[in-house]
Amino acid sequence: MTTTHTASAPAPAPAPAPAPTFDSLVLSIPAHWLCPILYGDTTGLDDAEDRAFGRWLTDMLAEFGETHIGTIKNESHFARYHDAADYGVLACDCYDVEFMFRPAECVEHA
């Protein structure tokens, strides 16, 4: 008497999760804000600069949620009108920094 064993087919692998979608925004950021943005280290800022950076960061988080740094242009440029001017930062050397964030419609459905 022979016994026949049938192997069951392996379960199909789950479909990979879709890659996250990001939007990007390029801002002209004061050079002296790069260390706080990249490393969270505000020790190089005086009290007024620290408060201005804190207000900017709060506004960025409120508007875009969690952001990631994309690219930073290698060359700085001197700018009177930059994206920190509304926070009391005077003309200074700036870098163009790309911020990556999830679009609102992706965040709402997550």
Give the pair of three-digit tokens for residue 38. Answer: 């990249």
Please report the pLDDT score of residue 93 as a whole number.
98
Please report the pLDDT score of residue 2 as a whole number.
57
72-110 pLDDT, tens digit per residue, is: 999 999 999 999 999 999 999 999 999 999 876 654 545
CB atoms within 10 A of CB 29: 22
- Measure the CA–CA gap between 38 and 23, rounded to whole angstroms: 19
Confidence of residue 6 (pLDDT cuts 50, 70, 90): low
8-60 pLDDT, tens digit per residue, is: 667 777 877 777 788 999 999 999 999 999 999 999 999 999 999 999 999 99
**Domain limits, the chain:** 23-109
Please report the pLDDT score of residue 11 as a whole number.
73
